[in-house]
Structure 1
Amino acid sequence: MKKIVLSFLALASGIAFASAQKLEDGIQALYYGKFTSAEQTFQQVVQKNPQDGQSIYWLGQVYLENKNGETDGTGKALALYQKAASLNSPWILVGLGEIDYINHKNDAAEQKFEQAITLADKIKGRHKEVDQAAIRTAIGRASAYGDKDLGDPAYAIPKLQEAMNLDKTDPNSALYLGLNFLKLGGDQGGNAYSAFTQASNRDPKFAAADYHLGLIFQSQDNFDVMNQWYQTGITADPTFAPIYLGYFNYYKDKDVNKAKEYLDKYVANSDNGCEVQYYQADYLFQTGSYQESINKAKQMEAGSCATYSHLPLLMAADYHRLGDTTQAVTYAKKFFTTVASGNIQPYDYAFAGFIYKDIPEMADTAVTYLTKAYDMDTLASDKAMYADSISYALDKANKPIAKYDWLRKLYNAKDTASRTNLDIFNLGQAALEAGKVNKVYLPTADTMFTLYKTKYPKQAYGYYYLEQTKLAEDTSTIVQAIPAINDYINFLSKDTVKNKELIIAEYGKLGSYYVYDVKDYAKGLEIFQKIANLDPTNDAAKSAVDQLQKAVEQQKQLEEYYQKHPEKRPKDSTK
């Protein structure tokens, strides 16, 4: 009997060890970005032991992390954790708390975290400190998740520091410490760097720390420093696939050959799951092989990757490039009606905005999506691209006041030193177009183009558009614009050969005003004589000069007559 009992205990111990090994395999797969393998592994563990709160927690983490593949990772993880809530597991409490963070319910989240810590601190055994540290690290992971507006670094940082003291070898607590410091803002960059360095010191092969440092500089479009950290990570662990994916995303719209090189390395170090197939289809899009990209996406749709969330948006982009607007809009709508907002990235909104901006009746939708992309993205060059597209869409929709409001917002967001000539010009032109609808915007146009002329006196734009602004103030006469017209003519006259036609056009405005509006034939003669001098072959100008000379002579003779016979001068006549 004793032998039977011992055998049973040995078997149970073996099963427990096998489950723990499987769990570790899943955590490792998730670390390497192998979402398909990680999900399958955790599902197998949970299926064998539905009471294992830790495995359920990690399965939910796959759903949250796989933003490109899941249509609603948050909803899926929440359903999983809620189903397991009765287990009274600290891991499930942390998972539910993370969902609270995502939903901006920080107080509720931290109440659950405290309960989880209380449960973890009751753990006994040789490795109790490691288990207690793991729960605190998971709390730090929850706060590190997502954008800067999610989580609570001020709460999580002390928990992570406790975790580092309890377990002095785990690099993950230091990694999440660094990510939480980054969420506090740029002035915490030194603390973040120190934390990432500690992670690497704890495990020299822990490439994730170097990867996240590289990501920071990739988001700033700083290739040299990004490359330095990515290479450090590759040296630490050449099998860490996320770094190769980082390179691919950097190069895919800059150098498709380089992108292919890193995509191949990513594939070689991945599990050929749905995410790998998706990036292969994405690469075909980047190379201009739009139909091939569609074919690859449709293969995924027909197989086990049918529910991969970002396929419809990629196909929408492909069809857009092929000129098939109907299909592009259909797939874009499918994406946004099926994918939860938490799984939509800045470039997703941008893709849709680029598709819709060419369709006048969908310009409002384009602006909505592009604005979301602008607000979410951190890369200055991306923001500039989105801003241009928003202006274009508002033009397409014939909404000059909305365009002005948008550009005013961008202009105000910059300090004086960082405002470029393009910023000044764009706001001035938008104010001018808005002013044609409501003249209240014209003073802003005047201010902007006066500033432009002052700062960039060698460029024509300030002179020309200041004149256009003055002309827009009163479309019935040009009298208010005459100083600006003369100013523009003086600028153009620095090169009369190059600018001859423009100068003639400006003189034509003045000449017509003096001849037809105020009947000042002498001034009109002066203007048309300048045109004739500038272009001796201009028959219209020479004819006008001849006629005006006669008119001036007639005016002179008539004035001499009135001087001799003042009683004959009409009462409404002016001298």
Structure 2
Amino acid sequence: MKKTLVTLLASGLLSIAVQAQTLQEGINNLYAGRIKNAISVFEKLLAVNPNNIEAIYWLGQTKLETDEIMGARLKDVRSIYEKALQATNGAPLIKVGMGHIDLLTNKSEDARQHFESALTMTRTKKGDDPVISTAIGRAITDTKNGDFAYAIRLLEDAASKDPKNTETLLQLGNAYRKARPGEGGGLAFQTYKKAIEINSGFVGPYLRLAKLFESQKNWELYLQYLNDGVAKDPKFTAAYYELFYYYFFRAQFAEAENFLTKYIDSKLPETDIQDQFLYAQLCWAKKDFSCAISKAEIVYVAMGDVTKPKVFRLLADAYFQKGDFDNAKKYSDLFFLKKNPDDYISGDHKIRADILSKTGGTTDEIFVNYLQGSVLDTLLSSKIDFLKQGAEFLKARGDSISRVREGDLRLEIVKLKGDKVGQRDFFDAGFAYYQGKNYEKADSIFDVFTEKYPDEVYGPMMQYNIHRALDSTMEKGMAVPWAEKYLNILEKDTAKNKKTIIGVASYLASYHANIVKDKEKALEYLRKMLVLDPTNEIIKNNISVLEKAPATKPPSPSKGGATPAPAKTGNPKPSAKTTIKKEIPIKT
């Protein structure tokens, strides 16, 4: 009997040891970036004991790290924790897991209640349970706008009670970084280093140290800590992933491919068809678009309806680069049909606009893509730069509809810049409308321009040209006030502006000679022209013809006409209307 009891006890202790080791194996896989392996470990544990609280908690934490759409991840993990709460009668660690999901779904009050309940249930005379405090700290530091000061208090307390707990130290380092961006790096560095000193085989702190120095663009130390982590764990998947992209973005493709191979091998025996997408990216970066298409389509064939949108993005661009615009359109359509809100950027609308321009897309469709893309950028400068790209794209198309839509995008830039808007911003918007023959919008913009910059020549210049277009026969005299104002500015530098002065004066001479029949005013402008070009026989001849013509004078308002209003700041709208009886040709 005694021998049997000893055997049973030994067997039980061995089972507990194996389970603990396996749980730690899953956690190590998680921090090493071997996500599928970690999930497999936790699921095997739960197959033996469905109510293994720690396995349930860490399974949920691991599933949050997959590359599925965030909304799908949150839904999946919430379901896991909700079922576990019922099965375990509200286990405190599972409550913390639920609070974590609450925070990630902006339910901060629900999260607070779950955290406080878990702390209360596990609190002893020695204070809060360090395991629960650490889990809460982990949850808070995983958010963008959590109460990081509270997380630090909990984690510092937990570290004081269990100073060799490397999970606690890792989360405390994360909390320092989140609480004091740009300032907390020193404390975070010390805390990560302390975790490594306690357990050099725990790779989580190596990655965090590398990311810390990445944020400082200290690439030497970034690489050092990744390589140190690989030395401790030759299957450090997350480190190989970082190293792949480090060389990928520097166009060092041989090194990138080397680390991509190591990344894939580090996850064995687990395999992932998505790794072919990384090869597709590598081919794309090398401009081997046939290879990129081949690799990406392998993923599409294997994944079918659950293919990730990023695969369609790459296929759309690769086909576009090859000049196969129909297939580019096909995959662009699929991307936008299934786009992932967590991986959806303004550049997606740029390539969409490019594809539409080659496949019969309308100007309005292209315009809308640039407008929608600008909304996705969070930085004001990025929004403006993207809108400028769209404006230049539409400008290059050249047709009047495209130029009007160019004006619409440039007007958005004016609105975004607010008080910092400049002369060029107004001018480019107004000029685009002018080139698109939308003279009303051009007029309204240059009204504002002229009011804001009354001493600049460009306002009167454009208003003169706009109103000439609106009143091509001169009958309404709409351009006259602007021509006079423009001429006054031009005459400040007759040497520089000689040609333009002669052109504007010629317009005014023609108007006064032929529309309002004011011979003397017409001669005044012709003589201005002659002063600048005294040997011009055409101008001399015009003066001679006009001097010999019968005397004329402008019609009075009482006889059905009105002289044009004088030029003024703002938006003058002359109302002169006269009847043409006989025109005197004005030539230059």
**Equivalent position to 1:349, from 345, 356, 372:** 345
Aligned equivalent of 1:458:
none
Pairwise CA distance, 1:296: 0.6
Written as runs of structure 1 = structure 2, the 5 A alignment for 1:408-447 is 408-412=414-418, 425-430=424-429, 436-437=440-441, 440-446=444-450
Gaps of 5+ in 2: 357-362, 396-401, 434-438, 471-477, 554-558, 564-588
Aligned equivalent of 2:319:
319
CA contact (8 A) 1:106 1:152 kept: no
Aligned equivalent of 1:222:
none
Task: Provide the secondary structure at the position in 1 that maps to 2:183.
Answer: helix
Could you give the per-residue CA deviations for residues 497-525 of structure 1, whole angstroms, max 9, x where no partner exists?
Answer: xxxxxx74664244223333566443443
Pairwise CA distance, 1:109: 1.0
Pairwise CA distance, 1:112: 1.0
Q: Which residue type is aligned with residue 288 of structure 2?
A: S
Query: C-alpha distance in 1, partners of 2:562/2:208?
Result: 88
Gaps of 5+ in 1: 218-224, 454-461, 497-502, 537-541, 563-569
Query: C-alpha distance in 1, partners of 2:347/2:560?
Result: 71
- Note if 1:161 corresponds to 2:163: no
Aligned equivalent of 1:41:
41
Pairwise CA distance, 1:387: 4.0
Structure 1 residues 240-249 or 29-38, which shifts more? 240-249
Could you give the per-residue CA deviations for residues 379-433 of structure 1, whole angstroms, max 9, x where no partner exists?
Answer: x6x5564343455688759556753563135424xx86xx8xxx65235423665
Structure 1 residues 11-20 or 266-275, which shifts more? 266-275
Q: Which residue type is aligned with residue 548 of structure 1?
A: N
Aligned equivalent of 1:203:
196
Q: Which residue type is aligned with residue 6 of structure 2?
A: L
Aligned equivalent of 1:97:
99
Pairwise CA distance, 1:104: 0.8
CA contact (8 A) 1:179 1:192 kept: no
Query: C-alpha distance in 2, partners of 1:308/1:247?
Result: 25
Aligned equivalent of 2:108:
106
Structure with a larger share of its residues in helix:
1
Pairwise CA distance, 1:75: 2.0
Q: Which residue type is aligned with residue 352 of structure 1?
A: D
Question: Structure 1 pair 102/285, CA: closer, same or farther in 2 (3 Å)?
Answer: same
Task: Provide the secondary structure at the position in 2 that maps to 1:189.
Answer: coil
Aligned equivalent of 1:373:
376
Q: Which residue type is aligned with residue 525 of structure 1?
A: L
TM-score (norm 1): 0.73
Aligned equivalent of 2:223:
231
Aligned equivalent of 2:543:
549
Task: Provide the secondary structure at the position in 1 that maps to 2:51.
Answer: coil
Pairwise CA distance, 1:477: 0.4
Pairwise CA distance, 1:328: 3.9
Larger relative contact order (CA 8 Å, sep ≥ 6): 1
Query: C-alpha distance in 2, partners of 1:294/1:94?
Result: 44
Query: C-alpha distance in 1, partners of 2:8/2:368?
Result: 65
- Note if 1:522 corresponds to 2:523: yes
Query: C-alpha distance in 2, partners of 1:9/1:168?
Result: 31
Could you give the per-residue CA deviations for residues 191-235 of structure 1, whole angstroms, max 9, x where no partner exists?
Answer: 344224322233155212323323434xxxxxxx34144134235
CA contact (8 A) 2:350 2:370 kept: no
CA contact (8 A) 1:116 1:135 kept: yes
Structure 1 residues 243-252 or 33-42, which shifts more? 243-252
Task: Provide the secondary structure at the position in 2 that maps to 1:50.
Answer: coil
CA contact (8 A) 1:374 1:387 kept: no
Aligned equivalent of 2:331:
331
Question: Structure 1 pair 558/440, CA: closer, same or farther in 2 (3 Å)?
Answer: closer
Written as runs of structure 1 = structure 2, the 5 A alignment for 1:287-306 is 287-303=286-302
CA contact (8 A) 1:143 1:156 kept: yes
CA contact (8 A) 1:71 1:340 kept: no
Query: C-alpha distance in 2, partners of 1:394/1:266?
Result: 40
Could you give the per-residue CA deviations for residues 281-330 of structure 1, whole angstroms, max 9, x where no partner exists?
Answer: 12222222223212111212334798452323332333343445554454
Structure 1 residues 34-43 or 387-396, which shifts more? 387-396
Q: Which residue type is aligned with residue 94 of structure 2?
A: I
Query: C-alpha distance in 2, partners of 1:492/1:45?
Result: 90
Q: Which has the larger radius of gyration?
A: 2
Task: Provide the secondary structure at the position in 1 that maps to 2:64.
Answer: helix
Pairwise CA distance, 1:107: 0.6
TM-score (norm 2): 0.71
Pairwise CA distance, 1:96: 1.7
Could you give the per-residue CA deviations for residues 82-133 of structure 1, whole angstroms, max 9, x where no partner exists?
Answer: 23222233332222212211211101012112223334446x9xxx99x943
Query: C-alpha distance in 2, partners of 1:260/1:469?
Result: 59
Identity %: 21
Q: Which residue type is aligned with residue 56 of structure 1?
A: I
Pairwise CA distance, 1:489: 8.2
Query: C-alpha distance in 1, partners of 2:111/2:375?
Result: 27
Aligned equivalent of 2:571:
none
Question: Structure 1 pair 387/164, CA: closer, same or farther in 2 (3 Å)?
Answer: farther
Task: Provide the secondary structure at the position in 1 that maps to 2:33.
Answer: coil
CA contact (8 A) 1:428 1:444 kept: no
Written as runs of structure 1 = structure 2, the 5 A alignment for 1:81-480 is 81-86=81-86, 87=88, 88-121=90-123, 132-146=129-143, 148-149=144-145, 151-180=146-175, 183=178, 188-203=181-196, 206-217=205-216, 225-238=217-230, 241-242=237-238, 245-246=241-242, 249=245, 252=248, 255-256=250-251, 258=252, 260-269=254-263, 270-271=266-267, 273-274=272-273, 276-303=275-302, 307=306, 309=308, 310-338=310-338, 341=341, 344-345=342-343, 348-358=344-354, 359=356, 360-363=363-366, 366-367=369-370, 369-375=372-378, 385-389=385-389, 391=391, 398-399=404-405, 403-404=409-410, 406-412=412-418, 425-430=424-429, 436-437=440-441, 440-446=444-450, 450=453, 464=458, 467-468=461-462, 471-472=465-466, 475=470, 476-480=478-482
Q: Give the paired residue count.
A: 508
State the Cα RMSD in Å. 4.3
Written as runs of structure 1 = structure 2, the 5 A alignment for 1:8-23 is 8-23=8-23
Aligned equivalent of 1:61:
61
Q: Which residue type is aligned with residue 355 of structure 1?
A: I
